[in-house]
A and B are shown apart, each in its own frame.
Chain A
Amino acid sequence: DVKVTQSSRYLVKRTGEKVFLECVQDMDHENMFWYRQDPGLGLRLIYFSYDVKMKEKGDIPEGYSVSREKKERFSLILESASTNQTSMYLCASSWGLPSNQPQHFGDGTRLSIL
């Protein structure tokens, strides 16, 4: 079974702090993704990565950055947290090839910015 592990289930931070969300997968997947999920808006893609040190912007990258130094780990960084970044953050991974593969999700991190 695919295992995607997010480092925290719940996190509370203050406005202006630099926040790191970590995600690790154990299936040697090439692709990794970060989404945020908000009521009434569904899942929206923030960033994705298809290889180590490679990244591409998703639909809502503003205020976020990412890091992928190792294949199994994909980090989401909130450079200066703001209250509108309070949300559920979901990490996912998938095989690179064949490219039409399901994504497998972690349990999510519920982040509150005070």
Chain B
Amino acid sequence: EDKVVQSPLSLVVHEGDTVTLNCSYEVTNFRSLLWYKQEKKAPTFLFMLTSSGIEKKSGRLSSILDKKELFSILNITATQTGDSAIYLCAVRGGYTGANSKLTFGKGITLSVRP
């Protein structure tokens, strides 16, 4: 059974801090790892990672994957109150062409104080 563990489960920081969110996984035939941000509504897609060591960046957010140690981190630099959200990590296993599903972790609740 595929498994995703996120840590910490919740985090409170002050504006301007840098945070690192962790995601470790166990999956049969790894294909991709995805990060989502969820505010009050729909989870919105942030990154999809398929290869080790290649950093994906979008503004103040970045993420990297380590397929040997089976984990990913999501970094947020110079945090703002608008970064307050639940951050979801999900993995996809299975075989190319198969209709494989995502397995989600429980999410990390980040609160950024002014």
User: Shortest Cβ distance from B63 into chain A, in angstroms?
Assistant: 13
Determine if A22 is an interface residue (Cβ-Cβ < 8 Å).
no
Which of B13-21, B52-60, B73-81, B104-112 forms contacts with chain A?
B104-112
- Indicate which residue in A31, A35, A44, A45 contacts B99 across the interface (CB closer than 8 Å): A31
CB closest residue in chain A, given B106:
A42
Residue total for B at the interface (Cβ-Cβ under 8 A): 25
User: Shortest Cβ distance from B9 into chain A, in angstroms?
Assistant: 8
Q: Do B99 and A56 touch across chains, with their CB atoms under 8 A apart?
A: yes
Determine if A66 is an interface residue (Cβ-Cβ < 8 Å).
no
Q: Which residues of chain A have C-beta atoms less than 8 A from B107's C-beta?
A: 42-43
Interface size for chain A: under 10, 10 to 19, 20 to 34, or 35 or more residues? 20 to 34
Q: Do A96 and B99 touch across chains, with their CB atoms under 8 A apart?
A: yes
- Secondary structure class of chain B's binding surface, majority of residues: loop
Q: Which residues of chain A have C-beta atoms less than 8 A from B101's C-beta?
A: 33, 45, 48, 58
Determine if A50 is an interface residue (Cβ-Cβ < 8 Å).
yes
Determine if B48 is an interface residue (Cβ-Cβ < 8 Å).
yes
Determine if A84 is an interface residue (Cβ-Cβ < 8 Å).
no
- Indicate which residue in B42, B90, B92, B105 contacts A100 across the interface (CB closer than 8 Å): B92
Determine if A89 is an interface residue (Cβ-Cβ < 8 Å).
no
Determine which residue in B96, B97, B99, B101 has the highest number of CB atoms from chain A within 10 A of its CB, and name it: B99
A residues 1-57 in Cβ contact with B at 8 Å: 4, 31, 33, 35, 40-45, 48, 50, 56
CB closest residue in chain B, given A99:
B97
Q: Which residues of chain B have C-beta atoms less than 8 A from A103's C-beta?
A: 45, 102
Q: Do B99 and A102 touch across chains, with their CB atoms under 8 A apart?
A: no
Q: Which residues of chain B have C-beta atoms less than 8 A from A40's C-beta?
A: 106
Residues of A near any B CB (own CB < 8 A): 4, 31, 33, 35, 40-45, 48, 50, 56, 58, 90, 96-97, 99-100, 102-108
Closest 10 interchain pairs by CB? A42-B106, A105-B42, A43-B104, A107-B41, A50-B99, A102-B45, A105-B43, A107-B42, A42-B104, A100-B32
